Structure 1
């Protein structure tokens, strides 16, 4: 294990079929097999994940390791932390059990660290593959990252291990978005390079409508992040300092319109016009793709429901964490 330079940490939970593809893409790396290890951190899965990984360990020449993490703490942060603590590489790479990494994924990351001594980390691009056309009553959840957004997801990010130990690893208070919060802390120590060729394909998630709406609850952790890092509210240029996007402005306008209607106020017409304008601003005229404008108009009920849910969760979190950020 003395030759190991890179440790790849993969958290997993009940996805043995997808995990196998992820591991096979790592087995096909152009980077020398004896210079990196793969650490599968199992969040106490109930499927055959353990059997699948241990079977691959017996039949593969790669440095594949398996850790079963039992903890009452929820979220992948504690699982990734276990992987970091068991790692031996000076560089830690992160990907997920629903990703397939490019063949030069590790090699390109290592080259970036060698060429840019000052960086603390390097991140790349994510492309969602697949669709939900054959699955009725589902909503596609995509993860597409094609440029440097300043949010470094653990689908395809590498950090220097000593920097991770210095900043305190993943924050286990963060059940979701813990990877982005970690990136914010790392950037205080030094730059994170964005290299597009460090690429992964991310499997699409086809969520049921109920599951999708429940997933929106994760917005609460964005508010928690801003409460921990209030300077990012200004850095991210929140609208009027507290609106993360345009959706809350539309919903507030719609609420005022509905209230004026119930009160039979003369302001109803004015608020109706404002509501229409804010909806177009938030959901229709968001780019120059004219072909999508009619569809976006028709999707008003869907957007309205999701916007109300997001605003409700973010308002609740804003009160809880005493930090006003509305989504």
Structure 2
């Protein structure tokens, strides 16, 4: 292979239609094709993705496009590590298979890197998340990517930076907090992070299944790992304090049930009022400014009744698993 300046690394798993759109945007970059490579890493055996590559390689023989496959599923952090360690470029650019980079994406990154004149540096681009004026709760949450400081959907690091930090922590087995961990390692080592607004990607919001916020609560377990590794930055940039609202809801419901069992009517009434007010305010917070459809409102009410209990369960399970005092 000829020497390249940039290596693009994309983790994926059984999403060939999304990956194709991402790759088509990258293969149409304004940056000289002979100067960058694209490395896709499948997080486990994936015949659908494998079938995609012969066609693309035949259509674009002037671009270095390769696919690597992990023997078993280990998560996007491990896939990205495999990708950058097999790469050749001086600058490694990361994105996800559900993102669509702009035509000048790589050119903007390379120009910013050259102007920095630094061997150890990270860069972060701009993320556009198109959502309706009244998004669903899920769409609203995804839209927060547009204001994130540093996410793997659109970032770049020099090879020496990744070698110094060790890259991504593979103890994060899912697409949650592994990018924050790298971000915090960069901050701890005082490695500059340069904002490159011209390096734009579009992150469309995929259709979510009903009640997705319930299954998403499992991610709270990995907040504990991030807190254990970077307590100061976690409180500064993620959550300044525990979500006390959840604990109020849980404790008041437990107190109400205990009061009912022991026949303490006054305590039952007081605890019930606290639970009702705290739960109602949580529901109101989630529905504010979102889709007004009846199905969405029902989803918000039902999931809001469950989320505090599930979130705290997974949070405490993470605290136990990672041996850290974390609420």
Q: For this structure pair, what is the TM-score category when the shorter chain's length is used for normalisation?
A: 0.7 to 0.9
The aligned residue for residue 76 of structure 2 is 76
**CA distance 1:290–1:185, change in 2 (3 Å):** closer
Matched, 1:92 2:92: yes
Which residue of 1 is the match for residue 170 of structure 2?
A: 172
**Taking structure 1 as reference, are residues 281 and 111 closer, same or farther at Cα in structure 2, changes over 3 Å only?**
farther
Q: 1:14 to 1:264 in 2, by over 3 A?
A: same
Aligned-residue offset at 1:72? 4.1
- Residue in 2 that maps onto 1:317: 318
With over 3 angstroms needed to count, the CA separation of the structure-2 counterparts of 1:291 and 1:14, relative to structure 1, is: closer
Which residue pairs with 2:228 in the alignment? 227
Q: What secondary structure does 1:184 align onto?
A: helix
Aligned counterparts of 1:42 and 1:291: Cα–Cα separation in 2: 35
CA contact (8 A) 1:54 1:66 kept: no
Say what the alpha-carbon RMSD is for the aligned residues.
Answer: 3.3
Unaligned segments of structure 1, at least 5 residues: 132-137
Cα deviation for residue 10 of structure 1 reads 0.7
Q: 1 or 2, which has the higher helix percentage?
A: 2
Q: Per-residue deviation at 1:222? A: 1.6
| Cα shift at 1:143 | 2.5
Correspondence for 2:300: 299
Other structure's SS at 1:74 match: coil
Aligned-partner Cα distance in 2 for 1:141–1:164 = 32
Aligned to 2:161: 163
Residues of 1 paired with 2:55 and 2:109: CA distance?
A: 28
Q: CA offsets, 1:119-178, max 9 Å, x none?
A: 7212233344579xxxxxx9769522222x44x221111111110011112111110222
* Aligned positions of 1:1-327 closer than 5 A: 3-72=3-72, 74-117=74-117, 120-129=121-130, 143-144=142-143, 145-147=145-147, 149-150=148-149, 152-176=150-174, 177=176, 178-189=178-189, 190-209=191-210, 213-236=214-237, 238=239, 241=241, 243-244=242-243, 246-265=245-264, 266-285=266-285, 289=289, 299-326=300-327
Tell me the alpha carbon deviations over residues 220-273 of structure 1, each in whole angstroms, 9 at most, x when there is no partner.
Answer: 11211111222234324745x4x1574344333333344334433312333233
Task: Work out the CA distance in 2 between the residues paired with 1:26 and 1:282.
Answer: 41
Q: Give me the TM-score of the superposition, normalised by structure 1.
A: 0.82
Is the 8 Å Cα contact of residues 282 and 304 (structure 2) preserved in structure 1?
A: no
**SS of 1:44 mapped into structure 2:** coil
1:139 and 1:207 in contact (8 A); partners too: yes
Alpha carbons 1:41, 1:80 under 8 Å: kept? yes
Partners of 1:202 and 1:45 in 2: how far apart? 25
For residue 304 of structure 1, give the secondary structure of its aligned residue in structure 2.
Answer: helix
- Residues 215/21 of structure 1: CA separation in 2 closer, same or farther (3 Å cut): same
The TM-score, its normalising length taken from structure 2, stands at 0.82
Per the TM alignment, residue 303 of structure 1 is displaced from its structure 2 partner at its CA by 1.0
1:80-113 alpha-carbon deviations (Å, 9 max, x no partner): 1111111111111111111111222112222332
Change beyond 3 A, Cα 1:274–1:164: same
Structure 2: stretches of 5+ with no match in the other structure = none
**Aligned in 2, Cα 1:186/1:196: closer, same or farther, shift over 3 Å?**
same
> How many pairs are equivalent?
316
- Deviation of 1:281 (Å): 4.7
Where 2:146 maps in the other structure, the secondary structure is coil
Distance (whole Å) between structure 1 residues aligned to residue 59 and residue 268 of structure 2: 70
Q: Residue deviations 1:307-327, cap 9 Å, x none?
A: 22111111111122222333x
What is the alpha-carbon distance in structure 1 between the residues aligned to residue 291 and residue 219 of structure 2? 31
**How much does 1:27 deviate?**
1.4
